[in-house]
């Protein structure tokens, strides 16, 4: 008998900026503090099939309010690919999110007295994809401009956040293809939301894709809280197949294949854990358990979708 299940989850994508201007070895002359960004439609789409969407930072002088359809800064001045610091973290308490924080440096002499009003992150090529755009704001959140003197550097720090849902997703799915057609209630839940590595993205931006890295596991126990993994005996599953990204879908699909000798727990397959690069770590529980034996194969189709949300 072949058995099959389908699981769909969704993550949020957010970001924020902080700009500092100063001379080497001195306290910054300007520090904007953190301010929110807009992740563009093109940026969200680009995540699905590309891994270089955090390559470069760029600044400009236009003060037009950012829009979802933006593909470039309004008045580009300069870009840099120099990253001086990268930090990955997971928020230890609610609100939960995984973050990758990157500082990009514009060297002294990069500007000629321009009144900088906008900032963006995207690919390194001229005319490349703009992942994020924001107007530079002051401490009160009002748009402002900054001027970088000839002997000053500009550090732009960008933090991208992958945000998990805090509630469960519950679906019913016919997973057994035999005559009985057993209906399993499936509970989907985020996992390891406080674990660095489970909800981060790479230094230059990973494409969304299902990964193993010893994170794809089957269990004979129930799923845990969103900060943990499922319980019980576990077994690593290594056979996965990512489908090609469908342009503009904002969804990445993949298949997990359990061979005859995989996950044949005496008490049945109760839950699994799976992880998407740039899409978070997840767990799913089956009720009743899937009674897989060494005469059965099992295919589980998984998908993650994503959309912009507000940064924490």
Handedness of CA 215, 243, 253, 310 (dihedral sign): positive
Does the pLDDT of residue 3 top 70, yes or no?
Answer: no
Query: Looking at residue 301, what is its pLDDT?
Result: 93
Distance CA 110, CA 148 (A): 9
Q: Could you tell me the pTM of the whole model?
A: 0.95
Q: Judge contact between 17 and 119, C-beta under 8 A.
A: yes
Q: Determine if the peptide bond prior to 288 is cis (ω within 30°).
A: yes
Higher per-residue pLDDT: 3 or 77: 77
Q: How far is residue 73's CA from residue 257's CA, in Å, rounded to a whole number?
A: 44
**30 pLDDT more than 60:** yes
DSSP class of residue 283 equals: E
Nearest to 209 by CA among 266, 255, 176: 255
Q: What is the distance between the alpha carbons of residues 264 and 280, in angstroms, rounded to a whole number?
A: 27
Q: Could you give the 3-state DSSP secondary structure of residue 42?
A: helix
Per-residue pLDDT tens for 230-255? 999 999 999 999 999 999 999 999 99
Rounded CA separation 128/137 (Å): 25
**What is the Cα–Cα distance from 131 to 152, expressed in whole angstroms?**
27
* Neighbouring-strand partners of residue 11: 306
Q: How confident is the model at residue 39 (pLDDT cuts 50, 70, 90)?
A: very high
Give the percent of the chain with pLDDT over 90.
87
- Does pLDDT of 66 surpass 70? yes
Count of residues in the chain: 312
Cα 57 to Cα 256: distance, rounded to the nearest angstrom? 37
Question: What is the C-alpha to C-alpha distance for residues 254 and 304, in angstroms, rounded to an integer?
Answer: 9
pLDDT of residue 131: 98
Evaluate the omega torsion of the peptide bond into residue 260 and state whether it is cis, within 30 degrees of 0.
no
| Cα–Cα distance measured from residue 91 to residue 96, given in angstroms and rounded to the nearest whole number | 5
The first and second tokens of residue 192, run together, are 């390891």
CA within 13 Å, CB half, 197: 6
The pLDDT score that the predictor gives to residue 98 is 97
Asked if residues 283 and 191 have their Cβ atoms less than 8 Å apart, the reply is yes
Q: Domain segments of the chain: what residues?
A: 2-10+165-308, 12-163
pLDDT in the model for residue 180: 61
């Amino acid at each position: 008998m072949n058995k099959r299940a389908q699981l769909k989850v969704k993550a949020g994508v957010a970001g924020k900026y902080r700009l500092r201007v100063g001379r080497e070895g001195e306290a910054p002359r300007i520090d904007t503090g953190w301010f929110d960004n807009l992740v563009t439609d093109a940026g969200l789409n680009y995540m699905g099939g590309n891994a270089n969407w955090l390559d470069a930072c760029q600044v400009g002088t236009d003060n037009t309010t950012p829009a979802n359809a933006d593909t470039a800064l309004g008045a580009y001045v300069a870009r840099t690919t120099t990253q001086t610091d990268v930090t990955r973290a997971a928020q230890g308490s609610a609100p939960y999110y995984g973050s990758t924080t990157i500082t990009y440096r514009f060297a002294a002499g990069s500007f000629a007295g321009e009144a900088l009003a906008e900032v963006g992150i995207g690919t390194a090529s001229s005319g490349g994809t703009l992942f994020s755009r924001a107007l530079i704001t002051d401490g009160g959140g009002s748009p402002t401009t900054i001027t970088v003197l000839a002997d000053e550097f500009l550090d732009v720090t960008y933090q991208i956040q992958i945000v998990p849902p805090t509630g469960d997703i519950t679906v019913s799915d016919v997973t057994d293809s035999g005559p009985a057609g057993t209906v399993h209630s499936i509970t989907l839940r985020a996992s390891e939301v406080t674990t660095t590595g489970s909800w981060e993205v790479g230094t230059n931006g990973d494409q969304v894709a299902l990964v193993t890295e010893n994170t794809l596991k089957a269990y004979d126990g129930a799923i845990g809280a969103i900060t943990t993994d499922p319980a019980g005996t576990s077994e690593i599953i290594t056979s996965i197949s990512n489908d090609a990204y469908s342009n503009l879908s904002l969804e990445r699909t993949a298949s997990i294949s359990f061979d005859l000798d995989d996950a044949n727990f005496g008490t049945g397959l109760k839950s699994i854990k799976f992880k998407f690069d740039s899409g978070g770590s997840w767990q799913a529980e089956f009720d009743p358990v899937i009674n897989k034996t060494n005469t059965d194969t099992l295919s589980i189709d998984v998908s993650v979708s994503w959309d912009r949300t507000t940064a924490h």
